[in-house]
């Protein structure tokens, strides 16, 4: 257990419904990342936050996707009007970046598995 | 062409064998190179990382990076059945990790 938690662990929804996932990072970590992983592939970057600021978004993040980190602690990822192609594992990671560090180690949560029927 | 290429396997070896896992990448700006292990239906777990070219050893695991050929390797010595998992190489580009496809490894007792 890395200390990053995600809720729910599994979500089954019907096409066209909206879904929201939550990630709670390791408490002192200032960076939070979202990735998506489909079966047999490695995770793909979606977006990341430093504190409450969303600093980068992938082209994979269509306008149906929105992520927030309102107080620089937990984050939510919402998918509107879900499509079957959204079925995947949604992974959250957190890290501590600061000072003279040139990189930061990302610790992953267990993921939320989304199935869109 | 993907930024990071990794043979998906599957790779099956007997217990005690030396395992070699490899990736190639195209972006010469990558400076940090991570290896993650992922068990079925779990999140990736960081094994180790290296900075720039060179070797790094941690117990039975050795990571190697050759930036001149853009080649990343992970060696596992004295492999154990508990090492059975998917191994993901992940160079770090700017802030984000760029993952390979993952190699599914099975160690047979």
For B:44-103, CB contacts with A below 8 A are 44-46, 49, 51, 88, 90, 92, 94-102
What pLDDT is recorded for position A2? 72
- Residue B9, pLDDT score: 82
Is B39 in CB contact (< 8 Å) with chain A? no
User: Over the stretch B1-35, which tens digit does the pLDDT of each residue have?
Assistant: 789 999 888 999 999 999 999 999 999 989 899 99
Residues of chain A in contact with residue B31, where contact means CB-CB under 8 angstroms, are 102-103
Retrieve residue B49's tokens: 């990382």
Say how many CA atoms lie within 13 Å of A38 toward its Cβ: 7
Contact A93, A32 (CB under 8 A): yes
pLDDT for B12 equals 96
Q: Do B44 and A55 touch (CB under 8 A)?
A: no
Q: Is A87 exposed, middle or buried (0-12, 13-18, 19+ CB in 10 A)?
A: middle
Q: Which residues of B42-67 are buried (b: 16+ CB within 10 A; e: fewer)?
A: ebbebbbbbeeeeeeeeeebbbbbee
The verdict on a CB contact (< 8 Å) between B31 and A103 is yes
Q: Which regions in chain A score pLDDT beneath 70?
A: 99-103
pLDDT at site B8: 80
Q: Do B46 and A107 touch (CB under 8 A)?
A: yes
> pLDDT of B34-88, one tens digit each?
999 999 889 999 999 998 888 999 999 999 999 999 999 999 999 999 999 999 9
The predicted pLDDT at position B52 comes to: 83
Half-sphere exposure in the Cβ direction for A103 (13 Å, CA): 18
Helices (H) and strands (E) in chain A, counts: 0, 11
Q: How many CB atoms lie within 10 A of CB B106?
A: 14
- ∠ Cα B3 B47 A74 (to 5°): 80
Provide the number of CB pairs (under 8 Å) joining chain A to chain B.
61
């Amino acid at each position: 257990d890395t200390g990053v938690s995600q809720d729910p662990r599994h979500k089954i929804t019907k096409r066209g419904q909206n879904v929201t996932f939550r990630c709670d990072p390791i408490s002192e970590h200032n960076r939070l990342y979202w990735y998506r992983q489909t079966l047999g592939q490695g995770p793909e970057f979606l977006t990341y936050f430093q504190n409450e600021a969303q600093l980068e978004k992938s082209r994979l993040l269509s306008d149906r996707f929105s992520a927030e980190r309102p107080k620089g602690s937990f984050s939510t990822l919402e998918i509107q009007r879900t499509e079957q192609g959204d079925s995947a594992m949604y992974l959250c990671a957190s890290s501590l970046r600061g000072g003279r560090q040139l990189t930061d180690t990302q610790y992953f949560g267990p993921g939320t598995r989304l199935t869109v029927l | 062409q993907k930024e990071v290429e990794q043979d998906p396997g599957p790779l099956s070896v007997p217990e005690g064998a030396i395992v070699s896992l490899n990736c190639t990448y195209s972006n010469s700006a990558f400076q940090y190179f991570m290896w993650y292990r992922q068990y079925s239906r779990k999140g990736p777990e960081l094994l180790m990382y290296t900075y720039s070219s060179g070797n790094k050893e941690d117990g039975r695991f050795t990571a190697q990076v050759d930036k001149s050929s853009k080649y990343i390797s992970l060696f596992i010595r004295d492999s154990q059945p508990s090492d059975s998992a998917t191994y993901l190489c992940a160079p770090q580009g700017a802030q984000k990790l760029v993952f390979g496809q993952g190699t599914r490894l099975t160690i047979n007792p």
